[in-house]
Amino acid sequence: MSQITDQIHDSEISDILENSLQGTRPEYDDYIRLLDSDNVSLMGLVAGTLTRNKFGTKASFVNNIILNYTNVCITDCKFCAFYRPPNHEESYTLTLDEIESRVKTACDLFKIRQVLIQGGHNPDLGIEYYEDSFRMIRKKFPQVGVHGLSTSEIDTIAKVEKSSTKEILSRLKDAGLQSLPGAGAEILTDNVKEIISPKKITSDEWLRIMEEAHTLGIPASATMMYGHVESNQDIAEHFQKIVQLQKKTGVFMAFIPWSFEPNNTQMQKEGIINFGAGGVQLLKMIAISRLVFDGLIPHIQSSWLTNGIGMAQLALQYGADDFGGTLIGEEVVSCTGSRSTELTAKKIIDSIHQIGYKVEERDNFYQTVCMH
């Protein structure tokens, strides 16, 4: 520890990093200073130390598929290349039989433990569609966890049903929903949302639905999509809102910062953003996330999907402890053409072993399934 302290002593963020090593989390003003600093390697040194103190040289992953059940969407987010408006010739919605077939194939071929269910905001789908899907998965594939639906999808279902989001969450939990992904957060400031997703739920609505999930005993992930129109103040505000809700509820199992991929999106067409934020920014966001949430949100995910496996390996040394999930059948990021988004368990296990770490295969509650 003294060697690390010597290295950080002369840095302009030394007080923040030294406090972190002593177990004191940074505050809002510190978030800004960290975000303004270019001393990414030092942040990573401290964040990596905190992570290894907690988890040792071990990284987890979940063997899953992403089930994009529909691409029909009416929110027209400028950062999305996946959605199609209703009645578009390329629009689709999976039937219950098609969902069963995809999950069965994934179980047979890949022995998955989780299905991440996300799609568009489709005004033609009532709650029974989701209830039938979740019940079927939990009944026929009991070893597979249902991790599904963004807060904004929950909000859309509530509007279709003319019901409250809490009632929708309660019914979906009864049908088999076990945990919520963090999608829909993007950046939790409405001045950013007005630019990139003006028709989607507000920041306060995202936080409210997450709090409702907590009161119903549904754990969740929190996310942040960075690298577009946000400022450091916006990111700091995002962190602050997640911290405040987590202190109140403890609803979040994991935090996942991920980089916006502009290819084929409206934001690229309009010239708002032309390229992704890149690898150094990923490592910076991972490291700051660990410093901000250390002792508060246990798991930080490496976000390989928009940055690649090599960056995910580095992220595991900069504060991440979880690699994320395998990916078979994902269609949202692949629509940007950014890279092949197929990743099997073997590739993840091999890539974690390459950095000398042990591998923990987990379920969607971060419980150990087995070690590799």
Produce one character per residue of 346-371: b if its CB has 16 or more CB atoms within 10 Å, e if not: eebbebbeeeebebbbbbbebeeeee
DSSP state of 44: H
> What residues contact 61, with CB distance under 8 A and at least 6 apart?
322, 323, 324, 325, 326, 345, 348, 349, 352, 359, 360, 361, 362
For 185, what's the count of Cα atoms within 13 Å in the CB-facing half-sphere? Answer: 27
- The rounded distance, in Å, linking the Cα atoms of 323 and 127 is 32
Determine whether 138 is exposed, middle or buried from the number of CB atoms within 10 Å of its CB (0-12, 13-18, 19+).
Answer: middle
Please state the residue numbers annotated as binding site for (3R)-3-methyl-D-ornithine.
150, 303
Please state the residue numbers annotated as binding site for [4Fe-4S] cluster.
73, 77, 80
- The rounded distance, in Å, linking the Cα atoms of 175 and 31 is 40
Please state the residue numbers annotated as binding site for S-adenosyl-L-methionine.
79, 186
Please state the residue numbers annotated as binding site.
73, 77, 79-80, 150, 186, 303
